[in-house]
């Protein structure tokens, strides 16, 4: 998983080490990992902020990657997002409206109770969702050559 895994290592909420990398024209334009809002305490130091079994202190990796692109004035239109797991529905909505056309995630992980791979994929018609592990099983993808 290369860079996505490296980015995920920077997460400040150890519950869920996940990274996201935005790629356009074979170039990395932004990266994101799960972390607190700038200037706010990190889960590492202040503990998690749990609501319904999820830590809500942090911003998700995909959202942070889009925020990083926005901050630096980089267009995400037409980009592909490589992520550790299938993005939650809120991040997917944001990715779609940011012009991201494809998500390649390493593993499936139910973002919210009741979500399934089928419903997540079916709900979102405007973005291509590919599970790298599934693609590899079909011989269409090589995880060891995963770039990023
Ligand atoms: Zn946390
Ligand atoms: Zn999310």
Q: What pTM was estimated for this model as a whole?
A: 0.84
Helices marked H in 57-139: 61-71, 89-97, 117-123, 132-137
Q: Give 75-84 pLDDT, tens digit per residue.
A: 999 999 999 8
DSSP assignment of 128-147 equals: EEEEHHHHHHTTS--GGG--
DSSP 8-state class, residue 111: S
Q: Which of 45, 62, 136, 144 is catalytic?
A: 62
Ligand nearest to the CA of 20: 2
What is the rounded CA–CA span in Å between residue 35 and residue 122? 29
Q: How far is the CA of 77 from the centre of ligand 1 (A)?
A: 30
- Residue 68 pLDDT class (50, 70, 90 cuts): very high
Catalytic site includes residue 62: yes
Q: Give 98-109 pLDDT, tens digit per residue.
A: 999 999 988 877
Query: Which residues have CB under 8 Å from 74's CB, separation 6+?
Result: 29, 30
Cα-to-chain-centroid distance, residue 76? 14
């Amino acid at each position: 998983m290369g860079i996505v895994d490296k980015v995920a290592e920077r997460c400040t909420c150890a519950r869920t080490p996940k990274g996201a990398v935005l790629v356009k024209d074979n170039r990395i334009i932004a990266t994101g990992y799960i972390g607190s809002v700038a200037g706010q305490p990190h889960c590492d130091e202040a503990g998690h902020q749990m609501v319904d079994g999820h830590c809500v202190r942090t911003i998700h990796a995909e959202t942070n990657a889009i925020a990083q692109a926005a901050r630096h004035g980089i267009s995400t239109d037409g980009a592909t997002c490589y992520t550790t797991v299938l993005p939650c529905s809120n991040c997917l909505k944001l990715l779609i409206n940011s012009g991201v056309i494809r998500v390649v995630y390493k593993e499936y992980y139910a973002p919210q109770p009741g979500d399934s791979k089928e419903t997540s994929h079916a709900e979102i018609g405007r973005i291509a969702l590919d599970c790298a592990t599934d693609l590899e099983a079909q011989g269409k993808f090589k995880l060891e050559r995963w770039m990023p």
